[in-house]
Chain A
Amino acid sequence: MNFNLNEEQQLIKQSAHDFGKEYLEPIVVKMDETREFPREVITAMASHDFLGLHLSADWGGVQGGCVTYIAVIEALSGWCGSVASIMNNHAMASYAIQHWGSEALRKQFLPAMVEGKVLGALAIYEKGPTPGIGPNAVVATKTDAGYVLKGTKAYVRNAGEAGVYVVTAVMEADRPKTAVAFVVDAHTAGVKVGQRIATMGLRGCPVADVIFDNVVAPESSVLAARGVEIVNRTLALGALGDAAQTVGIGQAAIDHASAYAKQRVQFGMPVFNFPAVQTLLSDSNTDCHVARLALYHAAQLVDDGEPFEVESAMVKSFLARLGTKLLVDSCQVEGGMGFVESMPLPRLFRDIAGTTLVDAPSDTPERAIAMSIA
């Protein structure tokens, strides 16, 4: 058992850190204020090969594997959660296309996605109790030319900026309803993006509903597996990317709070010296460390071709309980200064919540974990 990144992974992680310092640190505060989409940064990320980390060389990717991908997301998140979130959603879409798309679909989208010319998004959530049920469920109707999609997907990240959507729809004729996944070019007639929704944090990453108003989807745009399988596997991978963001943001906060505590003097000494403050910091650091180990273990399973879904669910479940606490407690160390937006922790507080609290809440990872031990 080896817990270390190999030399290449270390180099790539370091380059992501350097990238963050050079490209993200200067813009992160303004992006949070203005919610402006960081187009130039996405282009720069492509030129650093970050957008093709997990993709095959056939499409211009670097075949870096999941551990490398996670290392990069973690490193970027310490600088800017929004950009890491944009990248993770982009990666989920490109992963699905590479894994289940026809040769034609791959050729059409993947090279452009590696180059950052086309951004991807996953459109799977709906406002009903579960996808496929509810008045605005996206329904696919079979026609001679393929399918027609009608309905609304909710809370799509990268919405509006994305050039391609991986969309799930239930087949109108099927009973019980079965989901199918489509790849839809954002420029297709009938694809409409709703008003951008204000989010608590990760404010550079746009979120909106995406409306499919009788969108024609040819047979060739269907991904080659059952929709539920595609969603489960893609989300299990995406959850690792989310967890890497939580860990990256959490560690940045702990480091900041720790540095603050060392220079903040109360009762005649740095507050870092007080056992109660050390406990806040050490509990957070321990939680963050344990999460990171579990995260990289799950990512290694992916690279080894082993089942990783349960381990991914465990990371997600662990961080759903403790992820936001990393910021609740880091802010607490800084007291009033942890509450003013001229300091960095309030932004990290708002960002981390978006990495760990926002998936469809009925998709509880606990079920997957429980079933694995039954």
Chain B
Amino acid sequence: MIFKPEQLEVQKAARAFVAKYIIPYAAEYDRTGEFPSHLLGAAKESKIFAMAIPKKYGGLEYDSLTQALVCEEWGYGCAGMGTTLGASLLGTDPLLVVGTPEQKQMYFAPIVSGGLAAFGLTEPGAGSDAGGVKTTAVHSGNEYILNGTKCFITNGAYASVYLIVASTDPSKGLKGLSAFIVEKGTPGFNVGTAEHKLGIRSSNTVELHFKDAHIPVSNLVGAEGDGMKIAMLTLDMARPPVACAAVGIARRAVDECLKHLTERFTAKYPPPQTMQFKLAEMHAQVEAARQMAHHAMELRDTTTSYSMESAISKLVGGDMVMSVTTQAVSLMGSYGYTSTIEKLMRDAKIMQIYEGTNQIQRLVIARGLLTQAAQRMQKGGKS
């Protein structure tokens, strides 16, 4: 991948930001699980915040590849803080595609001034199966009335704006889902307690409770029944950045291994060949996953049908980072089990789970392949 000078400039800024505001704080916030309140202001100041939002709404309007470079650096520094910043991108994505100018104005304004967005799809009964959404939105005059519970919502307690998927017609299942903008402080909308997690501990994960929360009709994004389509489009956009973060975590693991090996071994006592080979394999896997992630990110800007490449990037990136970080702990032995590396392995696990488990990615890829094959059959009369 050849980058433009302006893309490399942003990468440089992201590296400086991560070195100054993330790496020195990562271990402590991981330990306490607290939300790093300094993060948002610093990211805004470093010009890597609101980076997907168009300039006319006050954002930075970075292309997807530039965002890829930034997401990788976030992952490199701390996947927890990276998740906080990344989930805000995810919360922004759908509005970019389907929002009206008024909705964009309303939704993007708090973000460009340093706030966060959150995306609320998952529910206790709706994980991999988004069709299980039970939260309802009942149309009443100029309003929709929301009732239900969302869970595992990143940034839930700290976001200024939310995109919430709810059912406007439960009889229609997936086709009855709709997407709504919900603002912080809406009466009837409350936030539950934060989850303590295996990894990405500094990111905030909560339940959202809606009890007769009144939302203006103008907050409906797209049309009634568009909710599933919008959610899928959002996930298509959000999966490659997860892959980029995974690449960042894994690159960090390789760097930490290198640091350890050069401290522990010398020219006279070089690392054994088994360790050298492990290191080589790890690095090769990181490089390969990055290319796939960048390819999917480029497609985000050039085509609307890239679900398969998006899913591949997330599958490859998520599985790669789990394997590479495990190898890293093993390469360093006891040191790996007690140092920065163990955090990388804990953080890695979520990359196989969120934005659709890697089983769901396989499903997307397989369905895509089979559909394409069936279409070819139909067209040509033979395979």
Contacts and interface: CB of A to CB of B under 8 A. Distances in A.
Instruction: Judge: A and B partners, yes or no.
Output: yes
Contact of A266 (B132, B205, B329, B338): B132
Interface string B322-360: 100010011111111110001001100110111001110
A331 B197 CA distance: 12
A272 interface: no
B362 A276 contact: yes
Contacts of B196: 340-342
B129 A358 contact: no
Interface string A112-155: 00000000000001011110010000000000000000000011
B148 interface: no
Interface in B112-163: 122, 125-129, 131-132, 151-152
B268 to A, nearest CB: 9
B337 A358 contact: yes
Contacts of A15: none
A277 B128 CA distance: 12
B3 interface: no
B330 A328 contact: no
B32 to A, nearest CB: 13
A199 B333 contact: no
Contact of A353 (B122, B266, B345, B352): B345
A353 B199 CA distance: 14
Contacts of A155: 333-335, 338
Contact of A129 (B195, B266, B326, B350): B266
Contact of A360 (B125, B199, B334, B338): B334
Interface stretch (A57-65, A217-225, A361-369): A361-369
Classify chain A's interface size: 35 or more
A346 interface: yes
Contacts, number: 129
A335 B197 contact: no
A360 B53 CA distance: 49
A125 B334 contact: yes
B264 A266 contact: no
B128 A358 contact: no
A227 B38 CA distance: 53
B332 A200 contact: no
Nearest to A280: B359
A207 interface: yes
B198 A350 contact: yes
A207 B198 contact: no
A346 B197 CA distance: 8
Contacts of A45: none
A331 B326 CA distance: 15
Contacts of B151: 336
A197 interface: yes
Contact of B269 (A133, A201, A267, A340): A133
Contacts of B322: 328
Contacts of A358: 329, 333-334, 336-337
A200 to B, nearest CB: 4
Interface residues of B, number: 49
B264 A128 contact: yes
Contacts of B129: 266-267
Contacts of B381: none
A340 B265 contact: no
Contacts of A23: none
Contact of A357 (B122, B131, B330, B352): B330
B275 interface: yes
Contacts of A283: none
Interface string B235-266: 00000000000000000000000000000111
B185 interface: no
A228 to B, nearest CB: 17
Given A267-B129, A340-B195, A366 B274 contact: yes
A340 B197 contact: yes
Contacts of A197: 338
Contact of B131 (A154, A267, A360, A364): A267
A349 interface: yes
Which of A130, A276, A324, A335 has the largest number of chain B CB atoms within 10 A?
A335
A37 interface: no
A160 to B, nearest CB: 15
Interface string B85-100: 0000000000000000
Contact of A340 (B125, B198, B331, B332): B198
A256 B77 CA distance: 33
A58 to B, nearest CB: 34
A265 interface: yes
A214 interface: no
B170 to A, nearest CB: 15
Given A276-B362, A354-B337, A266 B197 contact: no
B344 to A, nearest CB: 10
Contacts of A265: 125
B380 interface: no
Contact of B353 (A198, A276, A324, A332): A332
B5 interface: no
A127 B197 contact: no
A309 to B, nearest CB: 18
B94 to A, nearest CB: 21
Contacts of A350: 198, 342, 346
A253 to B, nearest CB: 13
A366 B274 CA distance: 9
A265 B127 CA distance: 10
Given A266-B129, A339-B199, A339-B349, A353 B338 contact: no
B264 A129 contact: yes
A133 B265 CA distance: 10
Given A200-B337, A328-B352, A364-B274, 8 more contacts: A197-B338, A266-B126, A276-B362, A332-B358, A332-B359, A336-B354, A361-B332, A364-B272
Interface of A: 125, 127-130, 133, 154-155, 197-201, 207, 265-267, 271, 276-277, 280, 320, 324, 328, 331-332, 335-336, 338-342, 346, 349-350, 353-354, 357-362, 364, 366
26 contacts: A155-B335, A155-B338, A198-B338, A199-B342, A200-B337, A207-B338, A267-B131, A276-B359, A280-B359, A328-B352, A332-B358, A339-B349, A341-B196, A346-B198, A349-B198, A350-B342, A353-B329, A354-B337, A357-B337, A358-B329, A358-B333, A358-B334, A361-B333, A362-B271, A364-B274, A366-B274
Q: Return the 7 tightest CB-CB contacts between A and B, nearest first.
A: A155-B334, A346-B198, A200-B342, A266-B129, A129-B269, A361-B333, A357-B330
